[in-house]
Structure 1
Amino acid sequence: MTAKILLASNNGKKLAELRRVVDAAGIGLDVLGLADVEPYPEPVEDGATFEDNALIKARIAAEKSGLPALADDSGLAVDALNGMPGVLSARWSGGHGDAANNQLLLAQLGDVPDERRGAAFVSVCALVLPNGSETVVRGEWRGTLAREERGANGFGYDPLFIPDDDLAAGRSSAELTAAEKDSLSHRGKALAQLVPALRALAAE
C-alpha cells in the first residue's frame, strides 16, 4: 500500500509542483490535496514569519487528517521595501488577487531605479507527522523586478520576477516552463531538501 502525504493547500499549481518533485525523485508517495480529505476549518495564518505560518498549516492538517502533512508558506521579499510584502504577499492589495497585488507593487516601485529592484522569492516548507515530528526547510530564489508583467505561466508575482539564473536568460518566472521553474525556484529548492524525509516516509 502506497504511503500518503497531505499537502495543506487549495492551490492546484502547488499540488502539481509537489507531485512533479515526488515523481522526479522516484519517491513512492501518494500526494493528496485538501479536496481529498474531510474538510476542516482553515487556520488563521497570523504568524510573523514564513516558518510560523507553514507550521500553523501543517500542524492542523496533520491533526485533522491523521496523515503526514506538508505545508508551504511563501512570498516575495523586495529589497527596496525592507523585505515586504513578505508574509503579506498574497494579501498585499487587501485580498484582491494576483493582478491587483502586481499592480500595487509596480506602483510602489515606480521611482526605484533598475539597479535597486532586487528581490527574492522565499518558500518555507514544514513537514509535520502525526507523531509530532517536525521538519522545516527554507529555499530562496534571487532576481530583480521588471517594470511590467511578462508571461502567462505561473501565478502570483511570477510575471514580474526576472531570475538571476543564467538558465532563465532574462525571462520572467512566468515565461519559464514548469520543468525550468521546478529546477530553479524557491519552492523547488525547499522541496529538494525534504526529499530524504519524504523517502523515509515512503519506506515506512
Structure 2
Amino acid sequence: MRPLLIGLIGLVAAACQTTETRIGAGPVPKNATMERCISNYMQQNGFALALAVDGSSCGWVYCPDNACRTGASMQRAIMICEKNSSADCAVYAYRKEVVWKTDETGPVTKDAPWYASARSFKDLPIRVYDDNKTIQNRKPALLSYRRLLDENQNYYGVFAVGGADTWGYGVAKENGNKPQTKLQAAKNALASCEEKSKTNCRLWIDHRTVISNGVSLDELVSSLE
C-alpha cells in the first residue's frame, strides 16, 4: 500500500493522541480557512476531510488507488485536524460526499436518528451520483429490492445508499396517504442503510425510479446485466 499523502491547514497547536470516527453535526464552521480547506480537498480528490468545530483547523487524507479503509481514513483526518486545533474535529466529507449532519438534514439527538424529525420526503437528502462500479456492487441488493416490490404490490419502497458501497431499502404499506407512506418507507430505508454505514445515507431510488436522473428500476437493473 502506498503512503498516504496528507494535506493540512492549521492555525492553533494542540495535542491529541487518540480519536474515534466522529461525523460532524450542527452548523458547519464558516470562515476563509474552512473555505480553503474544502476547496483544496475537493480539487485534490481527497478520501476524508475533517473540520474543527470552531473553524480553526482542518485535516484531510488522500489515498492513491482507493487503497485505504473508510474508518481508518476518517480517524486519520480527525487526528491531523486536532493536532492543530484547540477544539474537537469531526468528519465533514467522505470522498466527494458531504456527510456532516446539518439542521437541513435533520437534528442529531441522543434518542433519535438524525432523520427522525423529517416531515416530508423533500426534507431528506438525495444521492445524486454513483459510478458504474458502485452500482454494479449493489446489483444483488437491487434484484432483491425489485423482487420485494413485484411480490407486494401494496408496498411502497425506497432504496438508500451510504459510503463504502453500503445500502439499505425500506417499504411501507400503502394506506391511502401516499406522502406519509413514502416518507415512512424512506425513513425505513435510511435506518436499514445506516446500520451498516459509517456516514450519512442518502435516498437513491424512489419506489421504481432513480431520483437524480429518472431512470427506471428495470432499466437500471438491465444495464448491469
Q: TM-score, normalised by structure 2?
A: 0.29
**Greater RCO between the two (CA within 8 Å, min separation 6)?**
1
Instruction: Tell me which structure has the larger Cα radius of gyration.
Output: 2
Structure with higher helix content:
1
